[in-house]
Amino acid sequence: MGGSRKKKGSRRSPGERAERGPGAVRPDAFRAGLGSLERLLDDALQESGAPELDEDAPLVRAAEGALDLYAHLGRLLEEGSVSDALAGLRDRMAGDPDDFGYDRELEQALGPLLRFLYRRWWRVELVGAENVPASGPAVLVANHSGSLLAYDSAMLRVGLAEATDGGRSVRPLLDPEVCGVPVLGDVLARCGGVPATEENAATLLGRGDVVAVFPEGRAAFSKPFRSRYAIGAFTERGLVRAGIVAGAPILPVAIVGAGETHPTLGRLDWLAKRVGIPALPVTPTFPLLGVGGLLPLPSRWRIEIGAPLRVRAAAEGGASDARRVRRIADRARSRVQSLVDGAVERRGRAFL
């Protein structure tokens, strides 16, 4: 990631890595893997169209500073010295949630971090918020990055709240298996996430909420990096059907940038099954850097909310017509793909 690009497959010696400056010689797994990380990031940056970066470039300094921070956090975790902080988090999660587990106090506590990610780390640009109705139910149909940490749904939620001055909040419908992961599932629920079932969607829409659905389903977790913005088949059509039944506007949404936060190079499906999660991707930083590999890359994001689809009101029993639902889902998928293609072009370079 320096001023001259190394050929793929070349290796840097520990001495070469040490010349990068203070902190580069810390004897831990995070810094020891930095040479390999740099080569993989170079490939991702080259594919994104970004130019070669100088060692003093702001992005390089930010990335290395973040790696140092995560190295420090990793050592604290190994030493068990964050137990008090984890206990404090558990205390915060003992609030008074709604029927789906949403806890406003915890989300407010995490607000500064989420806004930092939105405004500074990913520099998110959101357009089309005016297409979301000021009141009443609505369905946002979006592409999915496949990240277990649901960054895309979190940034959509933060962005719409900011664009409407807190007037509209999004309840993202997330993979039920992810919602069942210990600790992670609790945090997602406390921050507004809801297991993606047609029944849950109908309940939220029935009380006038805006819901975000990701109808690609579990297939989104296995997208390779080169196909990150190719929209797969909408297999979770029941989520679209819930919107038809509720008579809610169905708005296509493009989320560009999440696909570069953790570029997927491969998968560890056997390990994912053992730990009970839908997928475990191999990225340039994970599992190479351990806990530090969970750091998302500072890609540039663009979120576009399109105009609602023209959907005729369903006649009695019409919403249960599988062919009608499939046609509407296919139209939504086509609109999302068109929005994504345009958003990728309008965003420009992925990292700078």
Tens-place pLDDT, residues 267-307: 666 655 665 656 666 666 665 656 566 678 889 999 999 99
- 3-state helix, strand, coil split of the chain in percent (to 5) is 50, 10, 40
CATH architecture for the domain at 99-261+296-347: 3-Layer(aba) Sandwich (3.40)
- Are 210 and 169 spatial neighbours (Cβ–Cβ below 8 Å)? yes
CA nearest neighbour of 258 among 156, 131, 107, 181: 156
Which tens digit of pLDDT belongs to each residue from 31-83? 444 444 445 555 554 554 444 445 555 444 544 554 455 455 455 555 554 44
**What pTM was computed for the model?**
0.71
The encoded tokens of residue 174 equal 């997330």
- Cα–chain center distance at 174: 11
CA nearest neighbour of 114 among 72, 153, 140: 153
- CA 24, CA 326: separation in Å to the nearest integer? 54
pLDDT band at 97 (very low <50, low <70, confident <90, very high): low
Q: Which amino acid is at 271?
A: L
- CA 211, CA 30: separation in Å to the nearest integer? 38
Q: Which DSSP string corresponds to 280-296?
A: -EE-SSTTTTGGGGGPP
Residue 20 or residue 202, greater confidence: 202
Say if residue 257's pLDDT is above 90.
yes
The listed range with the strongest mean pLDDT (73-82, 86-95, 268-277, 327-336) is 327-336
Question: Which bin fits 54, alpha (ψ -120 to 50), beta or left (φ > 0)?
Answer: beta
**pLDDT at position 101, please?**
85
Pairing of strands 138-142, 210-213: parallel
The encoded tokens of residue 217 equal 């389903």
List where CATH 3.40.1130 sits in the chain. 99-261+296-347
The encoded tokens of residue 305 equal 């909310």
Mean pLDDT, residues 221-247:
86
The encoded tokens of residue 155 equal 């940034």
Question: How many Å is the Cα radius of gyration of the chain?
Answer: 21
Mean pLDDT, residues 114-125:
93
